[in-house]
Amino acid sequence: MSSLVAVSALLASVAAPSEAPAQTWSFHLDHVLGTSFDMAVEAGTRAEAEFAFAAATSEIARLDRVLSGWREDSELSALNRAEARQVSPDLFAVLSACESWRTKTGGAFSARMGASEALSTSDDICAAVARAEAAEVGLDRATRTVTRPEGVTFAVDGLAKGHVIDAAMAAARRAAPCATAMMIDMGGDIACWGDRPWSVGVADPANLADNAAPAAIVRVSNRALAVSGPGMRDRLVDGVARSHLTDPATGAPAPARQTAVLAADAATADAASTALSVMPRDAALAFAEATPGLEAMMIEDGQAWATSGWNACQAAAPLPAGFTVDVTYTLPKIEAANYKKPFVIVWVTDLDKNPIKTLLVQGLRQDWQEDNYVWWRRVGRKTPGIVEAMGKPTRAPGKYTVGWDGTDADGKRVAQGKYLINVEAAREHGGHAYQAIEVTLGAAPATGAAPGKDELGATQVRYGKSK
């Protein structure tokens, strides 16, 4: 399964048609199915969100008693002690899905290899896997009876967590019909529901620290994400740390490859990420491309490969750590009998002129600010209080620098992309000048400039590592 990878979900609330404005309510639990559990519910009231959370956790607890391979009292453990047994609809559905994935992946996915998990030498593991894969498992759909041959110990981890997440999401939606969106994250397997997209990070296998920058960020809406590969669950084989995933065809550890999969449901994403981590890379990509609704990204030896539709799912990456923007503007000396120092405003927008953040406001009186009419019409009159927070005295002619740390008005770091640095100056009994400098904030340093005109001299923009 994919609990080895820490995945972060970046949440934001949106308006929804309900009596109260929708908010995003977040919940967290540790030690759920041996991992962490996070849930976000977008709803008009906290009570509605708590209904969803309670229903989800209740469903998880119920299925833990059915599917856990770590509990002696689970239904799965009872099956692994029997030769044949009639099982519940949930366990039969999971085992049937596992056998179906075994067939469709040509044996790359298997839930039969539980007996090999406690072994530590390659010879013993290979022998145990060979016995399990050669056995004839019986699944009688009419009676829900499972026949377990000798040598087969069912370990359904590669699909069961996804099945649990899907069931928990369904239970939560039934319990909170007025909720507008939900996200469930169980140890790195994530399902998202609702009209809004959720920004979800895929961890970088080269840096598994909880606060490490993600290798990719994808936008997930009514889909699920699962990530499998080596890392935190590695085990010792012949005294060497190897991937916990085993190739059913050979009994050998899977390649040191991380695979992220987007699919319509969590069970599919879970099973596919496991299978693609085991297959040869080219075969894994071909399988993913040929499977409707599946997108995948694989990282191996520091390189990434992805299906043709993966990039369309990605969100813009955040700005690199330590990168900032310096805006150096010039106030020219103007010969005038009644010279007044100019009022200057510097702010950041996207290319559609939507405001991101105001960096500098010089001049505390509103009528002075209104003279900088570009900023006032687009930002100032819509954001009361910004002046008190950012006002500064006007300045004499000279060269000045304003810094931007790459955050928006709410303090959140913006994504990579193209932005406009806007500089505006107005002088009492004088003129008006406005500059808009486009700069690309990406993985590499960049610069921009605007020539001087009227009340503004030349302006330079520098983007890169802070000095």
The tens digit of pLDDT for each residue in 197-252 reads 888 888 888 876 666 777 888 889 999 999 998 765 666 776 776 667 888 888 88
pLDDT > 90 fraction of the chain, expressed in percent and rounded: 50
Structure confidence at residue 133 (pLDDT) = 92
pLDDT of residue 16: 36
- Give residue 213's pLDDT: 72
Residue 102 confidence (pLDDT): 96
pLDDT bracket for residue 322 (50, 70, 90): confident
Amino acid occupying residue 189: D
Q: Detail the DSSP E strand segments found in 35-155.
A: 35-43, 84-86, 138-140, 145-147
Least confident of 69-73, 223-227, 284-288, 338-342: 338-342
∠ CA 96-99-104 to the nearest 5 degrees?
120
151-155, 215-219, 222-226, 294-298: range with lowest mean pLDDT: 215-219
> What pLDDT, in 10s, does the model give residues 326-364?
999 988 877 666 666 778 889 899 888 888 888 888 755
Reported pTM: 0.69
| Confidence band, pLDDT 50/70/90 cuts, at residue 396 | low
Q: Of 84-88, 109-113, 158-162, 406-410, where does mean pLDDT reach its minimum? A: 406-410
pLDDT number for residue 243: 67
Q: What's the pLDDT tens digit per position in 19-55?
A: 567 899 999 998 888 788 999 999 999 999 999 999 9
Alpha helices in 30-182 (DSSP H): 46-67, 75-79, 89-104, 122-134, 157-175
pLDDT at position 460: 94
How much is the mean pLDDT over the chain?
A: 84
Instruction: Check residue 231 and report its DSSP letter.
Output: S
Edge to edge, what strands does the sheet with 417-426 contain? 391-392, 355-362, 343-350, 417-426, 432-441
- pLDDT, residue 387, reads 44
Spatial separation of the C-alpha atoms in residues 362 and 369, rounded to whole Å: 8
Q: Following DSSP, what letter does each residue of 233-257 receive, concatenated? A: T-EEETTEEE-S-B-TTT-PBPPSE
How does DSSP classify residue 380?
G
- For the segment 76-96, the average pLDDT, to the nearest whole number, is 97
Domains defined for the chain, CATH in brackets:
9-313 (3.10.520.10), 323-465 (2.60.40.4070)
The three-point CA angle 252-258-264 to 5° equals 110
Between 215 and 65, residue with greater pLDDT: 65
